[in-house]
């Protein structure tokens, strides 16, 4: 087992879960078989993140672009999602459940189940598991701009509004405003791109790519990604000397 520095565990890990379809194809199985196995990987990684002390885990589950996939596959994915939004993984591990994305494009029964699970797990506090559903970063940024515009048209109590639109201000309109930006972004499946995922939030995230298909990604693979993260120096635009300088 890969040993980790438990004082340097990333607070927020985001994962692009890629490779379900190719995993299934390599085994001569339908794509849905890869998605089913991928759900089991979600359970394993969720439990490992709780064990390690990760505070937020965000999983890219279904993008806005995925609506363009064959209708049969989309329907199977929605049914799989509905089936697996259950108490066990959340209540057993004291995990809070949230989603980001355009939830109103999801089927009504999925929307209702999401609301139920968000309410039921609201007081869980070991970790927050966030599913990005019907999500894309460009949609999120455009949606934030629309909301800012609407708010700017509203009358102010004082009769005069002063808008200081800086990065912090815009960040409050992002769907992820309830959590910190990812420290570590992992992509499985061998592709080297971020695929319209959390573009605003990953400005200073460490990126980790691996060839392992998501259904084969396991706790040891997660530890390997975190160990790689821990080996890096995060400077946030500063020099190494500035980082090591005493704040006094």
The residues assigned a catalytic role are 18, 66
Two structure tokens written together for 121 = 């797990």
How many Å apart are CA 147 and CA 137, to the nearest integer?
15
| Terminal-residue alpha carbon distance, the chain | 39
* DSSP classification of residue 6: T
Q: Are 237 and 44 in contact (CB under 8 A)?
A: no
How many Å apart are CA 209 and CA 232, to the nearest integer?
15
Two structure tokens written together for 89 = 């993984």
Two structure tokens written together for 215 = 């259904």
Q: Are 163 and 152 in contact (CB under 8 A)?
A: yes
How many Å apart are CA 106 and CA 114, to the nearest integer?
10
């Amino acid at each position: 087992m890969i040993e980790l520095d438990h004082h340097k565990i990333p607070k927020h890990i985001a994962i692009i879960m890629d490779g379900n379809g190719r995993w299934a194809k390599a085994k001569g199985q339908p794509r849905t078989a890869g998605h089913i196995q991928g759900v089991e990987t979600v359970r394993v990684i969720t439990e490992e993140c709780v064990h390690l002390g990760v505070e937020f885990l965000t999983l890219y589950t279904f993008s806005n672009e995925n609506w363009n996939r064959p209708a049969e596959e989309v329907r199977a994915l929605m049914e799989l999602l509905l089936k697996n939004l259950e108490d066990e993984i959340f209540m057993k591990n004291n995990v809070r459940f949230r989603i980001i994305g355009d939830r109103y494009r999801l089927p009504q029964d999925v929307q209702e189940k999401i609301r139920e699970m968000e309410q039921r797990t609201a007081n869980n506090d070991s970790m927050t598991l966030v599913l990005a559903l019907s999500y894309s970063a460009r949609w999120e940024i455009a949606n934030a701009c629309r909301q800012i515009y609407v708010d700017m048209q509203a009358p102010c109590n004082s009769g005069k509004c002063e808008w200081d639109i800086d990065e912090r201000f815009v960040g409050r309109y992002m769907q992820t405003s309830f959590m910190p930006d990812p420290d570590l972004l992992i992509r499985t499946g061998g592709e080297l791109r971020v695929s319209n995922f959390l573009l605003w939030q990953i400005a200073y995230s460490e990126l980790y790519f691996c060839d392992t298909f998501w259904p084969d990604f396991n706790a040891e693979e997660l530890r390997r990604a975190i160990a790689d993260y821990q080996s890096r120096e995060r400077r946030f635009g500063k020099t190494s000397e500035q980082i090591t300088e005493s704040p006094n």
